[in-house]
Amino acid sequence: MTPKRKQKLFVILGLVSLTAVAVGLTLYALRANINLFFSPVQIAQGDAPLERQIRAGGMVKEGSVLRDPDSLDVAFTVTDYVDDLEVYYSGILPDLFREGQGVVVVGELQADGRMYADKVLARHDENYMPPEVAQALKEAGYSPADFQAKAAEVGKRLEAEGVPQANEY
Amino acid sequence: MWAFIHKLGSPKWFYGISAKLQPWFWAAAALLLVTGSLWGLAFAPADYQQGNSFRIIYVHVPAAFLAQSIFISMAVSGLVFMVWKIKVADMAAAVMAPLGAAMTFVALFSGAVWGVPTWGTWWMWDARLTSMLILLFLYLGVIALRGAFTSRDSASRAASVLAMVGVINIPIIKYSVDWWYTLHQPATFTLTSRPTMPIEMWLPLAIMVLGFYSFFIALTLMRTRSEILRREANKRWVHDLVKGRVEETR
């Protein structure tokens, strides 16, 4: 490689790495805004604003869905297996909505810790399987372990960052 | 090895070798795409939760793979062109951009269509969807930059720089689902672990991915060949080539 080409290569690599650092720092500074939703852990710790439209996400807790037989009103609990969030909603739920399924709810958090949702979106995990396999897994006692691991990791990270716990306020 | 790479940099030699390679890639693309589509759309089992709408994966995932791979190829070609002044690299980068933009659009569009039945929305400003939209804008920027200069050399250099800087977006797309909370689920396929779907589902998908890549290679070879003829129209070897063809037909 001639010295001129070498110099050019270094200039380009320098330019690209500087841009990468700039983009990285911007994304790091904006990380709270890039997260699509608050998890119940974050809401319990008081990170989410009250009475403003926010998004919260987690799994629909097994056995928590209550439907009003005369209307479209529904109440359920969103959990990340560390903390819970009570959600009230009136409207049509997506087809994939069910207990044990990931959801993102859009709505306002009330001072009493409940959330009134305007919209409920279903989240899908990265596992696909034919119905027979799903049945076999269910019989073998399958649990959404992936999500649990992620929630535990977030909890640990918040603790390490020294975010004050709810009971310290 | 080095001799081969040096030869690849010569437009005349590239024109010759690509003529021999091209039919193989077209044949592979046709065979794989037909097999993959039939298998994936008609014979693979439906998903336990999503039913048949899960079959969009057989278009969505290969298109998204290709959208990112083409951008990386464009950036590498840009680097080769800028540092080693190899013109064939720039010609290849120029012809790749429209296909990359089209694949990004296909990934975004099929994702939106898939989002309606599964998520309950066709668009959400989550990190994966937004970074993919930025990729589409980067492609459009590269294409627009090539058209914005009267001098071809300035256009090529501007487009190469944008491709090289824009490549930073690729790891952001890939890791967006791990770094932030998103509506989009994490990757089903990784190089390090087993796919989280059974073989009768991922085998047709793998065939579709290979088919998309073969199609990309075949189309890039074909379009680079016409770009070579266009840019080298005043060169001696092109004149001789055309003269030979004309005499053949007489």
pLDDT computed for residue A144 by the predictor = 44
Contact status, residue B83 vs residue A8, Cβ threshold 8 Å: yes
Residue A152 has pLDDT above 60, yes or no: no
Q: pLDDT digit string (tens) for A39-48? A: 888 888 888 8
Quick one: angle between helices B127-148 and B87-118, nearest 10?
Answer: 150
Average pLDDT for A156-165 = 53
**Torsional sign, CA B60, B66, B67, B68:** positive
Residues of B in Cβ contact (< 8 Å) with A94: 117-120
pLDDT computed for residue A156 by the predictor = 58
Q: Which residues of A26-40 are buried (b: 16+ CB within 10 A; e: fewer)?
A: ebeeeeeebbbbbbb
Distance of alpha carbon A111 from its chain centroid, rounded?
Answer: 21
- Please choose, from the candidates B121, B194, B36, B177, the residue with its C-alpha nearest in 3D space to the C-alpha of residue A127: B194
Contact status, residue B238 vs residue B232, Cβ threshold 8 Å: yes
Q: What are phi and psi of A105, to 5 degrees?
A: -110, 135
pLDDT computed for residue B58 by the predictor = 93
Quick one: angle between helices B127-148 and B57-84, nearest 10?
Answer: 40
Q: pLDDT digit string (tens) for B26-48? A: 999 999 999 999 999 988 888 88
Residue B64 has pLDDT above 60, yes or no: yes
In which band, very low, low, confident or very high, does the pLDDT at B163 lie, cut at 50, 70 and 90? very high
Q: What is the ipTM of this complex?
A: 0.73
pLDDT computed for residue B193 by the predictor = 67
pTM of the model: 0.85
- Mean pLDDT, chain A, as a whole number? 79
CA–CA min distance B27, chain A (Å): 31
Q: Residue B180 and residue A36: Cβ atoms within 8 Å?
A: yes
In which band, very low, low, confident or very high, does the pLDDT at A97 lie, cut at 50, 70 and 90? confident
Residues of A in Cβ contact (< 8 Å) with B83: 5, 8-9, 12
Give the number of C-alpha atoms closer than 13 A to the C-alpha of residue B222, restricted to the C-beta side.
12
Q: Residue A23 and residue B46: Cβ atoms within 8 Å?
A: no
User: Number of residue pairs across A and B with CB atoms under 8 Å?
Assistant: 114
Query: Is the Cβ of A22 closer than 8 Å to some Cβ of chain B?
Result: no
Q: How far apart are CA B14 and CA B91, in angstroms?
A: 11
Contact status, residue A119 vs residue A106, Cβ threshold 8 Å: yes
In which band, very low, low, confident or very high, does the pLDDT at A167 lie, cut at 50, 70 and 90? very low
pLDDT computed for residue B6 by the predictor = 75
Q: How far apart are CA A165 and CA B64, in angstroms?
A: 41
Q: How far apart are CA A48 and CA A54, in angstroms?
A: 8
Which range among A61-65, B192-196, B241-245 shows the weakest confidence by mean pLDDT? B192-196
Q: Both tokens of residue B86?
A: 């190899």
